[in-house]
């Protein structure tokens, strides 16, 4: 699967998937047939993560082809992302604590041979080594491979989940603080407490079409024990005066023309780029390049619509003299930068997030009950 960095490519991929492959999605989605054969899944996450296309558009397109009941599985998956986002927004300290733990563990593992063998794909597990090179080469892994990978990392190689989550963030084109951190916590058994995900030989063989041999794993490990529980923080979405201000867009909203605020009048739009200098987790060159091409693509589309815009590095925000307002960057490195530099901005929140996040206080099974309500409100 090739990920070209443009909205045109994302829309094309969405259309092709919905027209040709959506009908088989719930039956085939769990199969990882290998990087050359990804038609059973949408491959849209690198675009949705960056807001190049959004969940609403994806769901609308799927509903134009099939009814909600025929489409339910796909819609649920699309809204997992919204759920994970909301879950983390209500407990932002989970992310802050993750970065603190990561910093400590990095030091402890700076000479650890097992860790280096793992990230260089030199372990005794053929499938794991394969996924390491697939991740570095294609910057994407199938969802099932992510689950197996994380499980082998934690329970067979016995490495800390925090380092595995960092490794994913460094190389995934869709790297996202919520889906990634909470995905790893879920596999470890600290997200749904007491329930870990254990990869098994038969499951890997079946869902990879027997592409790998000699898969001897620890299939009986107990879940990791959470060190802390997190209480919910209230989210404040108060309305702001929008018009005639400068708008900041971060890397999670790179399609201004589809946002809830597309009809508002802004003086100028600043698209904020965040290179490695201001990140706790240093991304691979390919990921930085992918982000920068998506930013250029957004800039070009704004210019084509005669909207005054400029790309600014995150460190230059303090130099913008006139009043600014920003599309909310969500919990992650960009928000961390604003907070640690005492840049107190007014934020605009997506209506879908404002509405959905109220249902993220409990587990996904509870959230799922509200999906029909979310769909009728937004589609």
Ligand X SMILES: Cc1cc2nc3c(=O)[nH]c(=O)nc-3n(C[C@H](O)[C@H](O)[C@H](O)COP(=O)(O)OP(=O)(O)OC[C@H]3O[C@@H](n4cnc5c(N)ncnc54)[C@H](O)[C@@H]3O)c2cc1C
User: Which residue, 18 or 338, is less far from ligand X as judged by CB?
Assistant: 18
- Residues numbered 78 to 107 that lie near ligand X (CB under 6 A) are 78, 80-81, 84
Q: Is 56 in the site for ligand X (CB under 6 A)?
A: no
User: Which residue, 174 or 353, is less far from ligand X as judged by CB?
Assistant: 174
* Inter-CA distances, 344 with 126, 279, 319, Å: 49, 19, 14
Q: Which two tokens stand for residue 228?
A: 């802390």
Shortest CB 226 distance to ligand X, Å: 17
Q: Applying CB under 6 A, which part among 119-127, 128-136, 169-177, 367-375 lies near ligand X?
A: 169-177
| Residues contacting residue 69 through CB under 8 Å, at least 6 positions apart | none
Shortest CB 303 distance to ligand X, Å: 28
Tell me which of 180, 203, 253, 273 binds ligand X, using CB under 6 A.
Answer: 180
Q: Applying CB under 6 A, which part among 118-126, 143-151, 233-241, 354-362 lies near ligand X?
A: 143-151
User: Which residue, 59 or 302, is less far from ligand X as judged by CB?
Assistant: 59
Q: Applying CB under 6 A, which part among 183-191, 211-219, 239-247, 265-273 lies near ligand X?
A: 183-191
Q: How far apart are the first and last CA of the chain?
A: 30
The CB-nearest residue to ligand X is 183
Identify the bridge partners of residue 310 per DSSP, sorted by sequence position.
270
- Residues numbered 10 to 49 that lie near ligand X (CB under 6 A) are 29, 41-45, 48-49
Q: Which two tokens stand for residue 197?
A: 């995900």
User: Which residue, 148 or 270, is less far from ligand X as judged by CB?
Assistant: 148
Tell me which of 172, 247, 249, 302 binds ligand X, using CB under 6 A.
Answer: 172
Identify the bridge partners of residue 346 per DSSP, sorted by sequence position.
325
User: Which residue, 291 or 299, is less far from ligand X as judged by CB?
Assistant: 291
* Inter-CA distances, 40 with 17, 133, 142, Å: 8, 22, 10
Q: Applying CB under 6 A, which part among 118-126, 180-188, 250-258, 314-322 lies near ligand X?
A: 180-188
Tell me which of 160, 175, 189, 223 binds ligand X, using CB under 6 A.
Answer: 175
Q: Is 251 in the site for ligand X (CB under 6 A)?
A: no
Shortest CB 310 distance to ligand X, Å: 28
CA distance 305 to 302: 5
Q: Applying CB under 6 A, which part among 104-112, 174-182, 281-289, 301-309 lies near ligand X?
A: 174-182
Shortest CB 1 distance to ligand X, Å: 8
Shortest CB 185 distance to ligand X, Å: 9
Q: Is 223 in the site for ligand X (CB under 6 A)?
A: no
Residues of this chain that interact with ligand X (CB under 6 A) are 29, 41-45, 48-49, 77-78, 80-81, 84, 143, 146-147, 150, 168, 172, 174-176, 179-180, 183-184, 187
């Amino acid at each position: 699967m090739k990920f070209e960095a443009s909205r045109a490519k994302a829309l094309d991929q969405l259309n092709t998937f919905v027209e040709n492959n959506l009908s088989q999605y719930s039956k085939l989605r769990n199969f990882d047939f290998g990087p050359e054969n990804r038609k059973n899944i949408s491959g849209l996450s690198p675009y949705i993560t960056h807001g190049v296309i959004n969940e609403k558009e994806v769901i609308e397109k799927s509903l134009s082809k099939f009814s909600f009941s025929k489409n339910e599985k796909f819609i649920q998956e699309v809204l997992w992302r919204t759920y994970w986002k909301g879950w983390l927004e209500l407990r932002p300290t989970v992310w802050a604590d993750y970065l603190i733990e990561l910093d400590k563990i990095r030091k402890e593992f700076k000479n650890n041979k097992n860790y280096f063998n793992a990230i260089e794909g030199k372990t005794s597990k053929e499938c794991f080594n394969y996924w390491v090179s697939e991740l570095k080469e294609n910057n994407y892994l199938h969802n099932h491979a992510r689950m197996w990978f994380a499980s082998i990392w934690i329970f067979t190689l016995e490495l800390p989940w925090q380092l595995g989550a960092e490794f994913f963030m460094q190389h995934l084109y869709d790297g996202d603080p919520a889906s990634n951190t909470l995905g790893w916590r879920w596999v470890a058994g600290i997200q749904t407490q007491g329930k870990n995900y254990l990869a098994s030989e038969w499951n890997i063989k079946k869902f990879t079409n027997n592409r790998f041999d000699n898969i001897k794993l620890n299939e009986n490990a107990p879940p990791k024990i959470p060190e802390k529980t997190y209480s919910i923080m209230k989210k404040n979405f108060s309305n702001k005066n929008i018009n005639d201000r400068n708008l900041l867009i971060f890397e999670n909203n790179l399609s201004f023309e589809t946002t809830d605020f597309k009809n508002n009048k802004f003086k100028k739009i600043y698209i904020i780029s965040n290179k490695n200098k201001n990140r706790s987790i240093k991304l691979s060159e390919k990921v930085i390049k992918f982000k920068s091409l998506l930013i250029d693509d957004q800039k070009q589309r704004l210019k084509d619509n005669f909207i005054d815009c400029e790309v600014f590095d995150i460190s230059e925000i303090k130099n913008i003299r006139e009043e600014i307002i920003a599309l909310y960057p969500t919990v992650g490195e960009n928000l961390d930068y604003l907070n640690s530099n005492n840049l107190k901005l007014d934020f605009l929140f997506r209506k879908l997030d404002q509405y959905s996040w109220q249902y993220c206080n409990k587990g996904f099974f509870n959230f799922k009950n509200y999906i029909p309500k979310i769909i009728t409100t937004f589609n």
